[in-house]
């Protein structure tokens, strides 16, 4: 027995020294990422350079972090596993996935005593950034599969003060956060908040904010100066993302403006930037939208009234025929816009045309080029368009105003039951209200205080509007009445003059109904930009 106990003790000592009895398991992982060269045609050399870095031992490494056991030597953060590298980066047989994704494998030696991993530290020791989509661990002892949703650009590690860390796809209330992960969560928040100073550069991950002090352009004339929005006790908002541009030369409180090609380099956290295709569309379409201001040719195109379209055929030509672009402008665009964006300017027919993509509603039915004018499409776009959250259930009829009665009078709606009942599929107004089938898009109270100023002092003209919609049996919205209103002084208070328009398909009434819907769309777009968006 003594010899047996001695042998057992010696065996335990040897095991502790050699690690034979350690409960170490191999955890396999799958990493899905997109290399930079798949998303940026100007970075084709990045693959070669990164391959060279791999040969020199500078790999993409990962390190598991325990969610259950802390390490005093690590400031009570979770205990760390060994550094492991992505496998076979340089092999061309890396399995491609949909959308130019690449799948890589990684293997971890994980001690069960460390518990379940809750985070992964990732270091990109290459020269180029890549877009990391997901990391998935398989057969984790005591847990099985653990999934990490990353969806983030990872730049070379030398650009970060702290290495990138990604947390498992689990959510915690703050007081439930595992103690082993708390240190890493706090460091991550500090990195995202930034220090509030210094120029922000591509690859930074700072989400910082500034006042709207870049609306004017005083360097090009005093008449272009604009006040700073936000920051006062009465109006502390809106805020915008901090861009760190230098102040203008004539006003230190106004941030300098940017123009092409610098507009492509305004700081936005990389994870919030448009994808390459979306960015191409965004810039190309916005350049086209500015064309009537920079190309005299367009004034000749809309020859009868400059800066206006003379007919719907003029509008159709923007989609089906296009407008020739001056060669000097084409050259300027070509020198400033990335290659993948040029497809919107140079079509396959070889001509240099200003040509918009055909709207889907017309693509679906070329035989019906006026499909966009229908009431059905008007209702569909109200839900699928810019401002769907503004539509509300109509709870009382006629609609009432909430404007201050000390300043405004007679602001309640003038829409009557007779205006809409014949369009309610046999229901009365009361039945439609009770069955929750009447809705309203109300742009009356928001616009009425500003209509006099807009209509007197700008080229734009508009109305306050209320639109009543009926939910039909096929679950589509149908407009049944549009009320357009203008202000009218009644003594020392502001009243209104309103007119109600109802659906019509033909003749003068049909065109007036189209105009009424157009004013509603203008209000909806304006509310989105100036209220919802800001």
CA–CA–CA angle 19, 23, 24 (5° rounding): 80
Residue 497 in this model has a pLDDT that exceeds 70: yes
Sign of CA dihedral 308, 311, 315, 320: negative
- Among 35-44, 192-201, 364-373, the minimum mean pLDDT is found in 35-44
Domain with CATH 4.10.375.10 in the chain: 210-269
Give the tokens for residue 346: 């140079």
CATH 4.10.372 residue window(s) in the chain = 276-357
**Is a pLDDT exceeding 60 seen at residue 43?**
no
Please give the Cα distance from 240 to 189 (Å, whole number): 19
The three-class DSSP label of residue 109 is: strand
Cα–Cα dist 144/146, whole Å = 7
What residues does CATH 2.60.60.20 cover in the chain? 23-193
Whose tokens are 């730049």? That residue is: 155
CA-to-CA separations, 301 to 313, 323, 351, 375, in angstroms, rounded: 12, 8, 17, 30
Q: Please indicate whether residue 237 or residue 98 has the higher confidence score (pLDDT).
A: 237
The pLDDT confidence band at residue 200, using thresholds 50, 70 and 90, is confident
3-state secondary structure of 527: helix
**pLDDT-based confidence at residue 346 (cuts at 50, 70, 90):** very low
For residues 132-152, give the mean pLDDT.
91
Q: Which of 512, 515, 476, 462 is nearest to 382 (CA)?
A: 476
Instruction: Please give the share of the chain, as a percent, with pLDDT higher than 90.
Output: 35
Residue 70 clears pLDDT 80, i.e. is over it: yes
Domain 210-269 bears CATH identifier 1.20.1050.10: no
Report CA-CA distances (Å) from 195 to 199, 210, 236, 238, 240: 11, 13, 21, 21, 17
Asked whether the beta carbons of 465 and 520 are under 8 A apart, the reply is yes
Q: 276-357 maps to which CATH number? A: 4.10.372
Q: What pLDDT sits at residue 517?
A: 94
The alpha carbon of 284 is separated from its chain's Cα centroid by a whole number of angstroms, namely: 17
Please tell me the predicted confidence (pLDDT) of residue 51.
66
Mean pLDDT value of segment 451-469: 91
Mean pLDDT of 485-507: 92
pLDDT number for residue 388 = 85
Residue 52 to residue 54: CA distance in whole angstroms: 5
Enter the tokens of residue 302: 């809309």
Beginning with the edge strand found earlier in the chain, give each strand of the sheet holding 144-154 in spatial order: 102-111, 24-35, 130-140, 144-154
197 vs 288 pLDDT, higher one:
197
Which numeric CATH code is attached to 371-532? 3.10.450.60
Q: What does each C-alpha distance from 40 to 35, 90, 277 come to in angstroms?
A: 9, 20, 10
Helices 507-527 and 375-384, packing angle to 10 deg: 0
pLDDT at 24: 83
**Banded pLDDT at 168 (limits 50, 70, 90):** very high
Q: What is the pLDDT of residue 257?
A: 78
For residues 297 and 324, the answer to whether their CB atoms sit within 8 Å is yes
Is residue 460 very low, low, confident or very high in pLDDT (cuts 50, 70, 90)? confident
Spell out the alpha helix ranges (H) of 417-533.
417-420, 429-434, 444-447, 451-457, 507-527
Range(s) within the chain of domains with CATH label 3.10.450.60: 371-532
Other C-beta atoms closer than 10 Å to the C-beta of 511 total 12
Bond before 261 cis per omega within 30 degrees: yes
Tell me if 132 sits within 8 A of 154, measured CB to CB. yes
Question: pLDDT confidence of 401, banded at 50, 70, 90?
Answer: very high
Closest Cα to residue 398, out of 437, 363, 368, 438?
A: 438
User: Which superfamily, per CATH, for 23-193?
Assistant: PLAT/LH2 domain (2.60.60.20)
């Amino acid at each position: 027995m003594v010899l047996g106990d001695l042998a057992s003790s010696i065996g335990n000592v040897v095991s502790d020294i050699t690690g034979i009895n350690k409960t170490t398991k191999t955890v396999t992982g799958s990493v899905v990422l997109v290399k930079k060269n798949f998303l940026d045609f100007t970075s084709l050399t990045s693959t070669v350079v990164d391959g060279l870095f791999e040969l020199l031992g500078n790999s993409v490494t990962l390190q598991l972090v325990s969610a259950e056991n802390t390490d005093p030597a690590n400031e009570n953060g979770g205990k760390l596993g060994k550094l492991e590298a992505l496998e076979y980066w340089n092999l061309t047989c890396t399995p491609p996935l949909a959308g130019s994704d690449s799948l890589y494998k990684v293997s971890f030696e994980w001690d069960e005593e460390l518990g379940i991993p809750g985070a992964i530290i990732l270091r990109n020791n290459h020269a180029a950034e890549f877009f990391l989509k997901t990391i998935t661990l398989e057969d984790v002892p005591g847990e099985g599969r653990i999934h990490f949703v990353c969806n983030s650009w990872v730049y070379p590690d030398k650009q970060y003060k702290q290495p990138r860390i990604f947390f498992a796809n689990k959510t915690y209330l703050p007081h439930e956060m595992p103690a082993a992960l708390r240190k890493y969560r706090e460091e991550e928040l500090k990195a995202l908040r930034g220090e509030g100073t210094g120029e922000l550069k591509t690859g930074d991950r700072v989400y910082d904010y500034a006042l709207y002090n870049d609306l004017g352009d005083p360097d090009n004339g005093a008449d272009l100066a604009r006040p700073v929005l936000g920051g006062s006790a009465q109006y502390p908002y809106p805020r915008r993302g901090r861009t760190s541009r230098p102040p203008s030369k004539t006003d230190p409180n106004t941030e300098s403006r940017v123009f092409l090609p610098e507009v492509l380099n305004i700081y936005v956290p990389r994870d919030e930037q448009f994808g390459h295709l979306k960015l191409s569309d965004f810039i190309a379409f916005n350049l086209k939208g500015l064309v009537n201001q920079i190309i005299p040719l367009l004034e000749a195109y809309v020859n009868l009234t400059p800066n206006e379209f003379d007919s719907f055929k003029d509008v159709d030509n923007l989609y089906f025929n296009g407008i020739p672009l001056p060669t000097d402008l084409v050259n300027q665009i070509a020198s400033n816009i990335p290659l993948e964006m040029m497809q919107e300017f140079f079509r396959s027919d070889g001509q240099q045309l200003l040509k918009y993509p055909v709207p889907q509603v017309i693509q679906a039915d070329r035989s019906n080029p006026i499909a966009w004018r229908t009431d059905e499409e008007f209702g569909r776009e109200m839900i699928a368009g810019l401002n769907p959250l503004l539509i509300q259930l109509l709870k009382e009829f006629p609609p009432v105003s909430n404007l201050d009665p000390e300043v405004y009078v007679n602001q309640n709606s003038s829409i009557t039951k007779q205006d809409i009942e014949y369009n309610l599929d046999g229901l009365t107004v009361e039945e439609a209200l009770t069955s929750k089938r009447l809705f309203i898009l109300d742009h009356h109270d928001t616009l009425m205080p500003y209509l006099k100023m807009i209509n007197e002092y700008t080229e734009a003209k508009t109305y306050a509007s209320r639109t009543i919609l009926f939910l039909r049996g096929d679950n589509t919205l149908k407009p049944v009445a549009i009320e357009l209103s203008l202000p009218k002084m009644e003594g020392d208070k502001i009243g209104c003059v309103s007119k109600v328009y109802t659906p019509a398909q033909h003749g003068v009434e049909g065109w007036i109904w189209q105009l009424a819907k157009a004013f509603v769309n203008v209000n909806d777009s304006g509310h989105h930009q100036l209220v919802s968006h800001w």
